[in-house]
Amino acid sequence: MTIVTGYETTELETRSTYFELADEWRSATGKGVSVAVIDSGIDITHPDLEGKVSSSVEARVENKKVVFDPVEPGEGLDLVGHGTACAGIISGIAPDAEFHSIRVLGTGGLGDGHAFLAGLEYAVKNRYRIINLSLGTTKPQFFSPLHDLLDRAYLAGCVVVAAANNLPHPSFPSVFSSSLISVVKSEEKDPFKFGFHFGQVIELTAPGVNVRTPWPAGGYRNLTGNSFACPHIAGIIALLLEAYPDLTPFQVKSALYAIARENIDKKKEESPEDE
């Protein structure tokens, strides 16, 4: 049993968010939880993901407007492999989650910032319960529109999980830690033993070193990066939301903090410092 405490402040009130998490959530499978992966696409033919992707669209810029096209099998479902890897990590933790692929990255893992914004807005409008963002931008012109979109996501009940930049400078939206869940890699192997650093810009740590992931055409790769830490947390959240579907984004973050504190306490008990 995990005790979750905290206070959520709105324009009208400040209220206690005390609740209890029974340990049964750890045996959930993510059933009934929708997960949007905004990335390079998902190879729906991979054995680890076959039958799990309910929709697949591509956001592209045409005549200064962003249009969405359905992505059909045989059209290069994932041009990079990055999105397939991220979806595969989530599926490994929450095998019964329902995936929605929103492709905003093309060859070389590059994409247009406006397509990225539109892809995020598309996910929020569809109220996908979890939105995995293993990507970001350092361009300052996207600071405000991303911030506004994240506020809308929060109000819509969408839990946004974003990877920190692999380079030593901030990227958006991962630095908006008040309105999303930001993640950086650790050498931990067990996704349930994630960490939480309250007060830091990037708060959560999760496995992200030499992670075995699915790859297009039925393959697998061992990958390292913050991109692959992010979906570990998205998978954990899918388990929590199956067990407790009415949790708000704030409560999800509070639950992760409480679980991480338990992880730290258990680690101290298992490896006490020498006196």
**pLDDT over 90 at 83, yes or no:** yes
Look at residue 207 and give its three-state secondary structure: strand
| Per-residue pLDDT at 275 | 43
| Per-residue pLDDT at 241 | 98
- Beta pairing class for 34-39 and 98-103: parallel
**pLDDT over 70 at 18, yes or no:** no
**pLDDT over 90 at 8, yes or no:** no
**232 among known catalytic residues:** no
Q: State both tokens at 184.
A: 């950086």
**82 among known catalytic residues:** yes
**pLDDT over 50 at 15, yes or no:** yes
Give the DSSP letter of residue 137.
B
For 27-254, CATH gives 3.40.50.200
Please give the span between the terminal C-alpha atoms of the chain, in angstroms, as a whole number: 31
Per-residue pLDDT tens for 222-232?
A: 999 999 999 99
| Per-residue pLDDT at 90 | 98
**227 among known catalytic residues:** yes
Average pLDDT, the chain: 91
Q: Of the listed 39, 43, 48, 78, which one is catalytic?
A: 39
pLDDT band at 10 (very low <50, low <70, confident <90, very high): low
pLDDT band at 265 (very low <50, low <70, confident <90, very high): confident
| Per-residue pLDDT at 11 | 59
**Taking Cα atoms as reference points, which of 181, 189, 138, 136 lies closest to residue 161?**
181
Per-residue pLDDT tens for 115-165?
A: 999 999 999 999 999 999 999 999 999 999 999 999 999 999 999 999 999
Task: Identify the H or E element spanning 255.
Answer: helix 249-270
pTM, to two decimals: 0.91
What is d(CA 131, CA 142) in angstroms, rounded to the nearest whole number? 18
Range name among 13-27, 57-71, 137-151 with the lowest pLDDT average = 13-27
Q: Of the listed 34, 40, 82, 179, which one is catalytic?
A: 82
